[in-house]
Structure 1
Amino acid sequence: MALSFVQRPEDIVEARELIGDKAFLMAKIEKPSAVQHVEAIARLCDAIMVARGDLGVEVPAEHVPGIQKDIIATCRRLGRPVVVATQMLESMRFSPAPTRAEVTDVATAVAEGTDAVMLSAETASGDYPLEAVQMMSKIIRQVENGPDYQAQLDVGRPQAEATASDAISCAIRRISAILPVAALVNYTESGTSSLRASRERPTATILSLTPSRHTARRLTVAWGIYSVINERLQQVEAVSSTALQAAQAQGLAKPGDTVVITAGIPFGQPGSTNTLRIETLP
C-alpha cells in the first residue's frame, strides 16, 4: 500500500492502524515536511518511494537530485527498500527511444543504491510500454555489471547492527566476494532476514525461501531478492538439500556450484536467523 502526500510520522502510524498487517506500507515522499522527517517516517513504514513528480512541484527542481540521494542513503542505512519514481523515461511515452539525459537519470539512481526504479505513464498509457521496460532493464544491468558499481556501494555501505542476522548478512556478502557463489539461499518467515541480506548488496542473487505467500510478494520490491514459496522445514537435516534443490530448480545454480545457505533454527520463529552453511551442488 503506497501512501501519498505523507507529511509527518503520525501519518504512518494512522495508516498502520487502518491497514494492520494486510500489506506492506510504502510512504511516498512528495512534501517538504516529509523530507524533513524522512528518517522517522522510514523507521515506521516498510518502504519509501521518492515520488519526484509532485516533489519537484513542492520544492525547487534543482533540490530534487540532492533530496533523492539523501533519501536513498537514509533507506540504505535503515535497511528499508527505496523506490525512485516518476518521469524516468518520460519521452518513451511517445518515442521508442529515450533521451540520453533520461538514461543517465536512471543510471544515477541505480548507482546511488536504490532498490528499484519505477515507470509510470511510460507503461500505464504510453505508446511503447514493452520497449520502456526493456530499456530500463538494460540500463540497470549495464550499471550493476560495471567495474565501479560495487566499489561505489562499498563507500556508502551502512554500518551493521550488533545482531546475529546482520553479522550473518555481512558474512555472506564477504563470502560471495571471495568465493564464486552462485546463489545465496535464505529461509525466512517474515522476510526480515532477506531484507537485511539485501541491504548488504551481495554479488549473488538472494533466493528467499518462505512458507508465506504474503512475505514472498512483499519482498519483490527489494534489491536482489528472488522469492519462492516453500513449505516450512521440519528437520534440520533438510536445510541443505532443500536449498540446493531450490537453487537448481530456479536456474540459479548448476552441479558443482557453490551455494551459501542461511536459516533460523528452530524453524518458524521470525527474526531467529543464526545459521550459515557453504555447500556445493552435487
Structure 2
Amino acid sequence: MYKRTKIVCTMGPACDSDETIREMIKAGMNVARFNFSHGSYDEHHGRIERVRRISKELGLPVGILLDTKGPEVRTGLLVDGKKVAVKTGDKIVVTARPTSEDFHGTAEHISLDYLALPSEVEKGSLILIDDGLVALEVESVSGQDMTCVVKNDGLIGERKGVNMPNVNISLPAITERDRQDILFGLTENIDYIAASFIRDGESVRGIRELCRENGGEHVTIFPKIECALGVENFDEILEASDGIMVARGDLGIEIKPELVPHIQKEIIAKCNAAYKPVITATQMLDSMQQNPRPTRAEVADVANAIYDGTDAVMLSGESAAGKYPVEAVKMQASIALETEKYLPAHAPLEVPADAHGTRVVNNVVGMSAVNMATTVGAKCITVPTTTGRTARLISHFRPNMPICAFSRHEWAVQQMIMYWGVIPHQAEITQGTVNGTIVKAIETAKELGYVEAGDLTVATAGDPRMSVQLEDKVSSTNVAYVAQVR
C-alpha cells in the first residue's frame, strides 16, 4: 500500500538529529516546513541542508516550505519577565507602543507593539492574547491608551501573540521582515511559501513578483487563510495562488471556532474544483506533543480532512517541539492509509461547467486516463511531464492507484511532491518519439518497483503531430494509452 495524502512536518529542536529526520521521512514525511516566526537564518540553513542530504540518501524527495512570520502583534515586556494574573472584571490599560526596556507591564497596565491599533478599535472590540487564552474588551480609547475590561481569568505573558477579531488592521500583509525572509529562502532554493495572514489577492501577486524578480519563478505560493478578511476574499486569493493552507489555529481565534469546520470544508472543495492543492493545518495531533498516542477526536479530525479532499495534512508543534515527532508522523500516515481505503475509486469524472478551450481537452485526457486505469485495473498511471501540470490534473480526479510522474526538471519534481497521490521522480525519459517516451517511462516505473512484468498501466503523453490548438494555446497532453509491462 502507498499513502496518497501528503504529510507536512514542521522542523524544530525535537527533530534536529539526523536519525530523527531519517525516521520521519521513512515514516511518510513529504514536506519539511520551516516556521520563520522562530529561529535564525543559520538554524534554518542547517536544517534545510540536513533534510536535503538525508532525503537524497534515502532516495525519497522532500519539499522545502518557508512559512512567513506575517504581520504579527505581540505583547510587550513585563516586570521581571513574569506572567501577570488577571481576573474577570478587572480593568487594565493597554498601551500601543514599541517594545523596549523602557516599559515593563503589570496586571494593571501592559503594552503591545502595534501603534495604529487605538485608531482601529472601538468600544466593544476584543483583544485576544496568547491564542485567545485571555480576552480583553475595549471600554474606551485615549491617545495610545486603551482601557479594557478583562473577560476571563488568566495569565498574560510577554511577547505573546495578539488577535483582534473583526478589526481591519492596516499592517501590510508582507512586512519588511517577511521580504528579507523570502529573499533568504530563495537563496536556499525553497519550493513553497506559506504566506501568513493573507487578506487579498494583491498580496499574493506581490509575493509572486518578489520571487520572480529574484530567481524564484518556480516557487509555489500557498496563502494561509487565518483571518476573517481571508475568508471573505477567498475567491480572489485562490485565483492568485498556487494552493491554499487552512491555518485553523489563528482562524479559530479570529472567527468563531464553531464556524471553522464548515469553512474548512468550503475551502477544500473550492481548491479541489480549481485543481489546486490544499493543506489542512494546526493542532491535528496536538496531544502528541506530550503523549505517545492521539485522542480519538484528533484521529477523526485527520480522517475527516482526508474525506473532505485535502491534499496534505500538517504537523506543527507535534514534530517541531513535541516528545514524539516520529510517532506523530507514523500515526498521521497510518490514519491516512486507513482512511484512503474508504475513498471512492476516483472523483467524479466530469468537465467543470466553466471549462473551455484547452482546459476541456486537458480534462478529457485526464478523465480518460483515470477511467481507463480504473476499468482495466491498472497498477499505476505513468505520467511523463515537463512542468508537472499533467500530474496535477490527474491528481484532481483522485485515482486509487499511484500516479508515477517523471520530469527532467528538479523544480517540477519538487512541486509535484505536494500533489495528492503523485509519486514524483527526476528522470530523463523524453525520447525521439511518443511511443519511445512512453516505453521509457514505463521501464523507469518498473525499475523503481511500481510495476512488474505483466502488469497493466495507463500512460499519458503529448503527440505534437496531433496537438490541439485552441485560443492560441496548445494542449500538450493529448493522448492516453493502456500498456502492458514487458
Matched residue type, 1:150: P
**1:127 and 2:319 correspond:** no
Q: How does 1:4-19 map to 2 (within 5 A)?
A: 4-19=196-211
Match of 1:103 in 2: 299
**Structure 1 residue 124, shift from structure 2 partner:** 0.7
Whole-Å Cα distance in 2 between the matches of residues 152 and 169 of structure 1? 12
User: What is the correspondence of 1:61-100 to structure 2 with a 5 Å cutoff?
Assistant: 61-100=257-296
Offset of 1:265 from its aligned partner? 2.7
Q: Distance in 2 between matches of 1:103 and 1:39?
A: 30
Partner of 2:82: none
Deviation string 1:145-187 (CA, Å, 9 cap, x unpaired) is 12xx117954x97737342221111111211221111111111
How far does residue 41 in structure 1 lie from its aligned partner after superposition?
A: 1.1
1:136 correspondence with 2:328: no
Structure with higher RCO (Cα < 8 A, 6+ apart): 2
Say which is worse superposed, 22-31 or 229-238, in terms of deviation: 229-238
The residue type equivalent to 2:242 in the other structure is D
Q: Kindly tell me: are residues 104 and 270 of structure 1, through their superposed partners in 2, closer, same or farther at Cα, counting changes over 3 Å?
A: farther
Name the CA shift for 1:207/1:221 in 2 (closer, same or farther; >3 Å): same
For the residue of structure 2 that corresponds to 1:273, the secondary structure is coil
Letter in 2 for 1:224: G
Which residues of structure 1 form unaligned runs of 5+?
Answer: none
Structure 1 residue 11, shift from structure 2 partner? 0.6
Match of 1:215 in 2: 412
d(CA) in 1 for partners of 2:366, 2:379: 16
- Offset of residue 240 of structure 1: 2.6
Residue aligning to 1:39: 235
Residues in 2 aligned to 1:195 and 1:90: alpha-carbon distance in whole angstroms: 30
Instruction: Identify the residue that residue 181 of structure 1 maps to in structure 2.
Output: 378
Counterpart of 2:405 in 1: which secondary structure? strand
For 2:369 and 2:336, the matched residues in 1 are separated by 23
Report the counterpart of residue 254 of structure 1 in structure 2: 452
CA distance in 1, matches of 2:277, 2:474: 19
Q: Distance in 2 between matches of 1:152 and 1:188?
A: 21
> By how many angstroms is 1:78 displaced?
0.3
Q: Structure 2: which amino acid aligns with 1:52?
A: R
**CA-CA distance at 1:22 after TM superposition:** 3.9
SS in structure 2 at match of 1:75: helix
Counterpart-to-counterpart distance in 1, 2:449 and 2:407: 18
Higher strand share: 2
Q: Is the 8 A contact 1:84 1:114 kept in 2?
A: yes
Residue 270 of structure 1, CA deviation: 8.6
Equivalent-residue separation in structure 2 for 1:183 and 1:152 (angstroms): 13
Match of 1:277, as an amino acid? Answer: Y
Q: Paired residue for 1:113?
A: 309
Distance 2:345 2:410 in 1: 35
Is the CA contact 1:193–1:271 (under 8 Å) kept in the aligned structure 2? no
Task: Identify the range of structure 1 (169-178 vs 129-138) with the bigger mean alpha-carbon deviation.
Answer: 169-178
Tell me the distance in 2 between the aligned counterparts of 1:158 and 1:109: 24
In the alignment, what sits opposite 1:196?
393
Q: CA deviation at 1:105?
A: 0.3
Question: C-alpha distance in 2, partners of 1:125/1:189?
Answer: 38
Instruction: Give the match's secondary structure for 2:310.
Output: coil
Q: 1:270 to 1:4 in 2, by over 3 A?
A: farther
Name the CA distance, whole Å, in 2 between partners of 1:151 and 1:240.
25
What RMSD, in angstroms, separates the aligned Cα atoms of the two structures?
A: 2.0
2: CA distance, partners of 1:203 / 1:151: 5
Name the counterpart of 1:278: 482
Q: For the Cα contact (< 8 Å) 2:346–2:370, is it kept in 1?
A: no
Whether the 8 Å contact between 1:265 and 1:273 is mirrored in structure 2 is yes
Answer whether contact 1:176 1:203 (CA < 8 A) is retained.
no
In terms of mean alpha carbon deviation, does 35-44 or 231-240 score higher? 231-240
AA partner of residue 259 (structure 1): T
Count of residues in correspondence between the two structures: 278
Distance 2:371 2:395 in 1: 13
Amino acid at match of 1:276: A
- Determine if the alignment matches structure 1 residue 49 to structure 2 residue 251: no
Please state which structure has a larger fraction of its residues in helix.
1
Report the residue type matching 2:235 in the other structure: E
Unmatched 5+ stretches in structure 2: 1-192, 466-472
Tell me which moved more, 159-168 or 26-35.
Answer: 159-168
SS at match of 1:25: strand
Q: Is the CA contact (8 Å cut-off) linking 1:184 and 1:204 kept in structure 2?
A: yes
Measured at CA, do residues 98 and 69 of structure 1 come closer, stay the same or move farther in structure 2, by a change above 3 Å?
same
Residue 384 of structure 2 contacts residue 438 of structure 2 at CA under 8 Å; is this kept in 1? no
Q: Secondary structure at the match of 1:118?
A: strand
Structure 2 counterparts to residues 17-28 of structure 1, below 5 A: 17-20=209-212, 21-28=217-224
Give the aligned partner of residue 7 of structure 2.
none
Give a deviation string over 1:8-53, Cα, whole Å, max 9, x none.
0111111111012141111111111111221221121111000001
Q: For 1:234 and 1:253, how far apart are their aligned partners in 2?
A: 21
- Scaled by the length of structure 1, the TM-score of the pair is 0.93
In structure 2, give the amino acid aligned to 1:137: A
Task: Establish whether residue 241 from structure 1 lines up as the match of residue 439 from structure 2.
Answer: yes
Would the alpha carbon gap of residues 203 and 119 (structure 1) be closer, same or farther in structure 2, given more than 3 Å must change?
same
What letter is aligned with 2:366? S
